[in-house]
Structure 1
């Protein structure tokens, strides 16, 4: 028998290890120990439910500096899930970043932003009835993104930042697998490469004009991603075959967790991975990332539809749970095609507890996509509630060398 060189064996072993989902015994044992029959059922079928979880412990030192330790359960960047609205998180932040980079006098997040159109399928937006002054702005779009995950708000910021700049920025920060190539509106691949001309105005005075743009970056669509048994297409016809996610957005779970951490704790990541934001930017973001729909006057939301936990999956979303006043959740969720995802930093000011949870699950028993028949209420939200409660209870009992001072996050409420 021919001898295989040791270097080849080492390479094969490393590839094999790399291909395995990442799981830490602490997190898996903790979840399984307290799992209800429903959760046990989900955990039993990882291939069907496609779940992934990251639990981030935060320990403060004597100077109150946070230190992070991630624990994984079935995390695999090659196991695709549709990120849905979680892609709104980096796009919102990059819109703020771009305003600083432009260095235009009078241009900031509150400057009225008028979107024009220059390509088929694009929409023109010059007013916003939900804003106090009736005008759209980056600030107002960001508010709506975090309060209720507004799709149109994301679309407008996607157009302002531009598809090319989105990827150049994220790739430069090390997020090489992230792909944000779609708005949430009926446009094909080419249509999403084109972005609108935009004007920032102060009264009748033009502050800044951005021409229509086109992204010429090549994207790697070589890996075919097919999910499900059947799907409804754009013509409302049932197709007997899986849904093709090959050219959809992609945002691996570890990247979502890291982006959230870099926003909430910028000093915890290298400078090259931080977003270029001011203290005022961070305070604005933290306020609306944790705000509840009922706390907003502009927009004013119907609290029956947009209840407290409308966009807070971990611990609270199931059964439209109330959030205690001493707990704040800084997060971004996403839901589409049967996939539910949440990346959250949960703070309990009363008991001095803080931790991060990032997770995704797929709930689609009939295997048909785009039929709006998913088990969000019966399986998805209970999954997040139970995982969140389990980790929260563990955190309440976990010993810390130093009690965290959480006033910086309390001040943004």
Structure 2
């Protein structure tokens, strides 16, 4: 077994996943801390064998195997523990990673690890999952070469994070956060919100931000008043050969904080982005900037689904009408099936009239969807004029109610504290381990 340093058990995340039947006064969608706020890497092309002795861990392993981040990884789940693993690798080639559930005594555990090590090359990693919340045991296991020790109960993201900590590249430890925006119908204003969120994060939070206009008929270049012959389609054409240096040359940098990968002036109707190229583009983008804003067209195609799979957080932009409400519920269900281990999408109610009663109110959305709106964006004459003139609202009318709502939503999506603009301090990892012991 490898002697590389192990990560400690992953951070506990306590919020409850909001369901369709959740009451409107459930936690706001922007506080889905159960799923974490930071970016999560894709698992590499490796083989993983998981040996489970309980139904609970079997369910976790199945969820990991079906997770969107494991599309390149071969994961096999086996019944049993160390004895079954040892017997298997006497006749089979060991994988890159072995995960074993064990509830035996500490001395028996160490004996089993040594026996398993005799069947495996030094490059094979081992994760042990047990029920003893003992820091001394954790340290002892890492000293003898165990890559990680996780204390049950665990969730799919705990195991995913542990695997990434072992196999993740050093340069990927500080990946940018990918925020995707898609409208529930045409004309919902999803692009306007994406553009304003990008401008707010770049200017107000002083974070390097890349806006990717992935709509072939996108308006980012008009919105930010520039022309550039190269952009989104050129990056897609490069496919797997695209690296972050090449991507940097294709970006229009408005200033040191905000870059834009624009849609073409004359769309090529023969080119449809494929999911693999789009995913590769996103992977390179998040290595280049702290935030990546994906402005996606309305619809549901394989490449749009692939873009949503590659995103850390998703915002569905709806309008106060029945067609949008119907589509919003359908898209929410589809996204949850696509991303079962991730937070549900944020719901933004846009173009809310400042006078009169809309056909569908925010309360109607909350009652039917069972979730609070992440943001309600008012729509008035000044907002309409700025949109029609191709101006960024948070810059053109910074003191308006619309700009204030957009700014607050941008900070919420970025995971920044409303008052300081700083990231919330994470809980100590040892605090979680000790906290369970105290309980």
Answer yes or no: same fold by TM over 0.5.
no
Larger Rg: 2
Scaled by the length of structure 1, the TM-score of the pair is 0.23
Relative to total residues, which structure has the larger helix share, 1 or 2?
2
Scaled by the length of structure 2, the TM-score of the pair is 0.22
